Amino acid sequence: MMGEEGDSPAMSIPTENATVLPKRSRLRAILLGIGAAGMLVAMASDALAVLGRHVGFTLPGSIELFQVAAVVALSMAILLASLNDRHAAVDLLVGRASPRTARVLFLIGRLALTLAFTLLCAGSIWVSADLWSTHEMTEIRAIPLRPFRLFWILCSGAAALHFAAQFAKALRR
């Protein structure tokens, strides 16, 4: 397997256990708390709306509440998965490859992740720039969307920077 004692240091790549955020880190706890709060708000607003339909009251704008809370929860999930190297991966090829091939596959993967998150961030910046002067808000609750767009841009940009740093570090080995 990769990252074991027998691998040469020049060919070693991060393993499943290589994380940027230790399990007991304060930053990890804060990011996890923000994401969990977003998920709880999303679930609560949706649950109240469903309950209301059954007992005779409405929760106007429940879909809007769900959507903005989901942006927070999903942005945090992507950032935490990135910082902890926990994105979905298929080890079928890498597990059978030589250390040199595994390193090349690792570099290609990190470059692809860097480009993907960079493009997501750039596209989000482009959309935000186009809509910035419109003071975009949700229709029913009038929730301003700027802060949520900026939050997503920060999270996707941080993920892109993380993978770019991993790529650069692996290139120097």
Confirm if 117 and 156 have CB atoms less than 8 A apart: yes
What residue spans of 56-90 are helical by DSSP H? Answer: 62-83
pLDDT at residue 92 in the model = 79
Q: Is the pLDDT of residue 1 over 90?
A: no
Confirm if 78 and 151 have CB atoms less than 8 A apart: no
Q: Report which residue type is found at 153.
A: I
Q: Is residue 7 very low, low, confident or very high in pLDDT (cuts 50, 70, 90)?
A: very low
pLDDT digits (tens, 9 = 90+) for 123-132: 999 999 999 9
Alpha-carbon distance 137 to 131, whole Å? 11
pLDDT at residue 125 in the model = 98
Q: What's the average model confidence in pLDDT over 46-72?
A: 95
pLDDT digits (tens, 9 = 90+) for 16-58: 445 577 777 899 999 999 999 999 999 999 999 999 999 999 9
HSE at residue 102, side-chain half, CA atoms within 13 A, is 21
Domain spans in the chain, listed from the N-terminal domain onward: 23-172
Alpha-carbon distance 62 to 103, whole Å? 47
Task: Indicate the burial class of 56 (C-beta count within 10 angstroms; 0-12, 13-18, 19 or more).
Answer: exposed
pLDDT at residue 2 in the model = 41
Confirm if 64 and 98 have CB atoms less than 8 A apart: no
Mean of all residue pLDDT scores within the chain: 88
pLDDT at residue 11 in the model = 42
- Tell me 93's DSSP state: T
Alpha-carbon distance 94 to 89, whole Å? 10
